[in-house]
């Protein structure tokens, strides 16, 4: 089984992301409603749909991510527009010169995206944000590669740890964003950003794995 797939022609993965986000629109809003405004699903679905509608599906994965990132940044606003917008733009930038997406290319993409997210939003691990999914998932992915796991296995580990980390945000007290004003009352519910982030990472994991053979 090849342990990479071509960058070219894979902008279509953005459509899979759109499908998952739209499918979970009500769920994301409900999770958000517990400690936030309850509009996370609506805004995410709107942004990903807008990007998908104007996407050139024959473009490269990098171009697809850039298009998605720009759409979220320009048209969505809120907190998730800039956070996910920058996230996908950085993944695009880190991969745009690569002919193939390998385990190491994806590691750099993730790492650049996470760094920019921290710079922009100022979140720290444990603040009950999407970083609490991204950071442990990325760490698990890295450790898997370091211990000699294949790209495919590492992607599986990435998705599983994202899901576990999402559940882990339930026990955290929000320290950033609107939910932070709740203090202890934010404990007991999953963070909405963490929920969408796990969906995104698991979709990337599944779509990448499909293309490995």
Partner 1 sequence: MQRIFNDPDDIVNEMVDGFVAAHPDIVTPTANPRVLKTAFTYPEPKVGVVTGGGSGHKPAFIGYIGKNMVDAVAIGEIFSSPSAKNFLDAFKAADQGKGVACLYGNYAGDNMNVKIAIEDAEDDDIEVKTVVANDDVPSAPGDEREKRRGVAGEVLMWKVGGAKAAMGGTLDEVIATAQKAIDHCRSVGIGLTPCTIPSVGKANFSIEPGKMEVGIGHHGEPGIQVDDLKSADEMAQMSLDIILPDLPFASGDEVVALVSGLGATPVMELYVYYRKVAQLLGDAGISVYRPFVGNYFTSLEMMGVTLTLMKLDEELKTCMDFEAYSVGLKQS
- Judged by DSSP in three states, 195 sits in helix
60 and 90 in contact (C-beta within 8 Å)? no
For the CA atoms of 140, 14, 191, 32, the dihedral, rounded to the nearest 10 degrees, stands at -170
Binding map of partner 1 across residues 128-167, x = CB under 8 A, - = no contact:
----------------------------------------
Q: Which is nearer to partner 1, 85 or 136 (CB)?
A: 85
**DSSP code, position 14:** H
**DSSP code, position 36:** S
Give the span between the Cα atoms of 127 and 191, in whole angstroms. Answer: 10
- Judged by DSSP in three states, 101 sits in strand
Total residues contacting partner 1 by CB under 8 A comes to: 31
Give the span between the Cα atoms of 116 and 65, in whole angstroms. Answer: 15
Site for partner 1 contains 178 (CB under 8 A): yes
Site for partner 1 contains 83 (CB under 8 A): yes
Site for partner 1 contains 76 (CB under 8 A): yes
Interacting residue with partner 1 among 177, 195, 204, 208 (CB under 8 A): 177
Binding map of partner 1 across residues 30-69, x = CB under 8 A, - = no contact:
--xx--xxxx--xx--x-----------------------
Rg (CA), the chain: 16
Q: Which residues bind partner 1 (CB under 8 A)?
A: 29, 32-33, 36-39, 42-43, 46, 73-79, 81-83, 85-86, 120-121, 176-178, 180-182, 185
């Amino acid at each position: 089984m090849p342990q990479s797939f071509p960058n070219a022609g894979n902008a279509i993965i953005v459509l899979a992301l759109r499908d998952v986000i739209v499918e979970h629109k009500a769920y994301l809003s409900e999770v958000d409603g517990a400690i936030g405004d309850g509009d996370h699903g609506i805004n995410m679905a709107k942004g990903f749909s807008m990007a998908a509608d104007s996407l050139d599906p024959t473009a490269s994965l990098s171009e697809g991510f850039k298009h998605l990132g720009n759409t979220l940044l320009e048209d969505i606003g809120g907190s998730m527009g800039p956070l996910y917008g920058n996230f996908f733009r950085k993944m695009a930038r880190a991969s745009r010169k690569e002919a193939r997406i390998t385990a190491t290319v994806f590691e750099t993409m993730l790492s650049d995206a996470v760094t920019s997210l921290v710079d922009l939003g100022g979140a720290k691990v444990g603040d009950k944000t999407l970083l609490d999914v991204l950071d442990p998932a990325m760490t698990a992915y890295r450790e898997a590669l370091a211990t000699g796991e294949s790209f495919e296995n590492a992607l599986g580990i990435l998705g599983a740890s994202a899901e576990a980390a999402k559940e882990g945000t339930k026990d955290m007290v929000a320290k950033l964003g609107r939910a932070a004003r709740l203090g202890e009352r934010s404990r007991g519910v999953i963070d909405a950003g963490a929920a969408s982030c796990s969906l995104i990472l698991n979709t990337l994991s599944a779509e990448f794995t499909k293309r490995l053979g």
